[in-house]
Amino acid sequence: MFSLPLDGDAVLRPLEPWQAGELLANIDRGRESIGRFIGLADAITSPSTATTFLTGYAEKAAADTGHIWGIWSSGVLVGGVLFRTMDVAQGTAEAGCWLEPAAAGRGLATRAATLIIDWAIRERGIHRVEWLVASGNTASIAVARRLGMTRDGVLRALRLHQGERHDIEVWSVLAPEWLARA
């Protein structure tokens, strides 16, 4: 299996259904912070839901409509990055990330997202990568900024999450912009 370095002890590698236990443990360690703005913590609550989630991404990878990778630090899964959606024919993809609190502040999400965006643009021919984020999720907005993305706009009160409506900001980077900054 491939593994790409992120920093001294952190690596990025595929996250697969057989690693469902590790994913559940990762979500359990960061459930409150991870679940504040995204539904991942609500979706992964047991070994079977973790397996179902990762099997869905294995099926997406096989169809080339989505992909997921884990971020391991000192051998422990601490977060991940993904293409929630990917439409190669249209040249679009939606990227995202999550980290448990102990892994935050090291630049891991930014470095991991950089690797997958670069792969999508250079290898898969993706023209537009989007980053959809709740307006209150300042950490994720900071990642979008560090990735050189442009804020395209706000979809007001778009997402109902844990009984609260959230404005969703749409950030994006286009292939020519990405390649120019490389």
Each residue's pLDDT tens digit, 119-167: 999 999 999 999 999 999 999 999 999 999 999 999 999 999 999 999 9
pTM for this model (two decimals): 0.96
CATH of domain 4-181: 3.40.630.30
By C-alpha distance, which of 141, 142, 144, 130 is closest to 175?
130
d(CA 110, CA 85): 19
- Domain boundaries in the chain? 4-181
